[in-house]
Homo-oligomer: A and B are copies of this chain.
């Protein structure tokens, strides 16, 4: 008998029939003797409907009030799922984030979880109930409702699993696991039965949409055994089979992994790059540039600054494409005069492509094979950034698919696993 957390996305909760399927699946786990906590998203389309309504009222919706509104989608979902469980004779109770409570900071629309009280949930589990908790939301120190941003329900599920010391957190999605790359781009892509936490972190941050990055961070920080698996299997699939399906995020590098140098090719075309030319090479300059950008709540991904030539250098970084214009305005208004820089240029039509693999740590030649492969395809590399387990390049976005396919083949990912 284990304590298990299930998370279901908006598609799985998209209709009365689908909610009934979710209830059937959870009931199966409950009948098998497991203590069950379920974190569902809002019904698909609901969050978008609420945000659109808010935008009709106020073009730039007040973030505190937007969270008040957007959080209701998940509240409806937990009530409906608890009812669907009860309709099947499974005792169940729902909680909104503030009722648990799931405590967060006060960064409305992108809050971070600070702590989760487990007493109330544990008491209901002890009473034999399935506990259904809203994803995506919490409550700040002043008692205001906050939301965690898009995909926040993944984070809620893993954080709840961590707070309860759950044996496993199962994230049900519309794909059946984590792949070596997106099968829509490379048909030969293979599902990975396991992936390390570090690799998953890089995959998530590099644009693999399977899990929200913060949920992976939580999984790593609290060592939550997390599995990504399909919500499209029949709800009555044998529990033994279901619990071995999908992709397990692990925290140990076993031998099999050591042999696979590269586990996947990740990519992202949501970014835009900005370069500030002829920046004086003096202490504090990076802070003077990125401070105002951060103050405007614009997240920065890659940051590149090369060796200076003749006392100046070029400073480049990437931001989400949606925040490209805003970032340019901040640079024009608050940065240009202070840093006495040259021209500010940018390009929203870029893509980032990365090779990711825990095995990279102990292998040379990965970078060289990557650059050679891109050269062979005639693809120019605009920016390069590396970490211990990935190498990312920025290229013209029209070459993205070509680059992903070529790299997937070059790194031997097309071959079936030995």
Contact = CB atoms under 8 A, between A and B. Distances in A.
Contacts of A143: 99
Contacts of A79: 54, 65-66, 68-69
A298 interface: no
A160 B59 CA distance: 31
Contact of A16 (B56, B66, B71): B56
Interface stretch (A80-88, A162-170, A172-180): A80-88
A56 B76 CA distance: 13
Contacts of A98: 98
A124 to B, nearest CB: 11
Interface in A28-86: 50, 53-54, 56-59, 61-62, 64-66, 68-69, 71-72, 75-76, 78-80, 82-84, 86
A94 B69 CA distance: 10
B57 A80 contact: yes
Given A76-B50, A79-B54, A64 B84 contact: no
A83 B96 contact: no
A150 to B, nearest CB: 18
A229 interface: no
Given A16-B56, A96-B145, A78 B68 contact: yes
A361 to B, nearest CB: 48
B76 A75 contact: no
Contact of A69 (B66, B75, B99, B144): B75
**How many subunits of this chain does the assembly comprise?**
2
B76 A58 contact: no
Nearest to A99: B143
Interface of A: 16, 19-20, 50, 53-54, 56-59, 61-62, 64-66, 68-69, 71-72, 75-76, 78-80, 82-84, 86-87, 93-94, 96, 98-99, 143-145
Contacts of A66: 79, 83
7 contacts: A16-B56, A57-B83, A58-B86, A64-B93, A68-B78, A68-B79, A75-B75
A62 B76 CA distance: 13
Contacts of A69: 75-76, 79-80
Contacts of A68: 75, 78-79, 82, 94, 96
Contacts of A76: 50, 53, 69, 72
A411 to B, nearest CB: 48
Contacts of A82: 62, 65, 68
Contact of A62 (B61, B71, B86, B96): B86
B87 A65 contact: no
A75 B66 CA distance: 11
A275 to B, nearest CB: 37
Contacts of A20: 57
Contacts of A145: 96
Nearest to A60: B87
A62 B75 contact: no
A192 to B, nearest CB: 36
Given A69-B80, A98-B98, A16 B53 contact: yes
